Chains A and B, each alone.
Chain A
């Protein structure tokens, strides 16, 4: 595998090197597919959606600023594609009114979860991801599965960092509450 950065490769693609785009697909295909599976909660058409993400990325590659990081850019395209997929499926306004994005929120400090804590949270997520609404599911997926920090999630979802923080906090609390109710276990 090439040791070049994504940004250097993206610059080559901008210059017309189509094969280099294959390297970017190789690097991101599994990540975007996992993001899609966990966020959209469907397996059957994930491949189509991921393909669509990379095609959109290629079409819009000239809008990518190579002085910035490539990862949030491609995740942003994926986010938009996934939201469109949900909208098509649900045929209704999504996240139409969300007080979190309107009013200022206090930012909970971004504490680095320990590896065991993170694995535990992933286990809980695996069990009950489908019980959470898309509003809370997406930041949790990005944080726990894609290892994105608050600032990156903010860039991907176009949300203020305090909103990301509060959605993560609430999402985690909801998950724990649901598990407690279902199993009565101390999670």
Chain B
């Protein structure tokens, strides 16, 4: 918009504004401009929302896949490992996306008429619901398996790094066969390890102790080569 000249200063606001309009120094945006703006904004909000659902459900998938999701049942040390093993970069990304989404939806009356806490909780609730729906369709498992088979090279690296990270003291796998002092565990990559059960190994429920071949178990314990000394075992079934 053109700056005011000295002559303009003497005129009243109405005269100046109408003059600027008539001289085409100021022109109104068309209705389609605002419609396009609203549509693009809506698409942006939807994309960020979908990205949030994807990331949220991906974090949960990664935690379950790596076994970290279950380690808090091993007590205080389990909680310590849980927090230490959380994918903090992804969590930070989720936080940033949620913040951006919150700022974007604040322009809508349903958001600004309520305290920020409510719209934030609404976003979190919808992300959890969306993440739950996503897990029902096994989207991440499918993508992860494609990634493993190298059919999606870009996704492969991402899912390898974040979808099923490997930790030194948390191990997830399938029980293959019993051994005198433990059993053979096979992970998703097909690698096998020997799990040593000692008097110090903790079981929390009868089901954890009563595993059979082909059960999926989470082992909490240090790895030494191909031997894992189990401090805790959790059976999550087949």
Contacts and interface: CB of A to CB of B under 8 A. Distances in A.
| Interface of chain A, main secondary structure | helix
| Interface of chain B, main secondary structure | helix
Contacts of A25: 13-14, 17-18
Nearest to A63: B34
A22 B26 contact: no
Interface in B1-54: 1, 4, 9, 12-14, 16-18, 20-22, 26-31, 33-34
Nearest to B27: A59
A82 B221 CA distance: 62
B168 interface: no
Given A51-B4, A55-B1, A105 B13 contact: no
Interface stretch (A88-96, A116-124, A133-141, A156-164): A156-164
A101 interface: yes
A158 B112 contact: yes
B12 to A, nearest CB: 8
Interface residues of B, number: 30
A51 B13 contact: yes
A47 B115 CA distance: 35
Interface in A40-89: 47-48, 50-52, 54-55, 58-63
Nearest to A46: B13
A43 B36 CA distance: 39
A25 B114 CA distance: 32
A165 interface: no
Q: For this complex, into which size category does the number of interface residues on chain A fall? A: 35 or more
A9 to B, nearest CB: 14
Nearest to A102: B116
B166 interface: no
Interface string A102-128: 111100000000000000000000000
Given A102-B117, A162-B115, A58 B17 contact: yes
A85 B22 CA distance: 27
A161 B26 CA distance: 35
Given A58-B17, A59-B29, A18 B116 contact: no
A102 B115 contact: yes
A22 B14 contact: yes
Contacts of B116: 101-102
B13 A104 contact: no
A60 B33 CA distance: 10
B113 interface: yes
A170 to B, nearest CB: 16
A103 B115 contact: yes
A11 to B, nearest CB: 12
A104 B118 contact: yes
Nearest to A13: B28
A185 to B, nearest CB: 37
Contacts of B109: 155
Nearest to B2: A55
Contacts of B26: 55, 58-59
A29 interface: yes
B223 interface: no
Contacts of B21: 18, 21, 58
B186 to A, nearest CB: 49
Question: Can you list the 10 inter-chain pairs with the closest CB atoms, starting with the nearest?
Answer: A158-B112, A63-B34, A25-B14, A102-B116, A62-B31, A104-B115, A54-B17, A51-B13, A55-B26, A29-B13
17 contacts: A21-B21, A51-B13, A55-B17, A58-B26, A59-B29, A60-B29, A62-B28, A62-B29, A62-B31, A102-B116, A104-B117, A154-B112, A154-B113, A158-B107, A160-B113, A162-B115, A163-B115
Given A18-B21, A102-B116, 7 more contacts: A21-B21, A25-B14, A26-B14, A47-B9, A55-B1, A104-B115, A158-B107
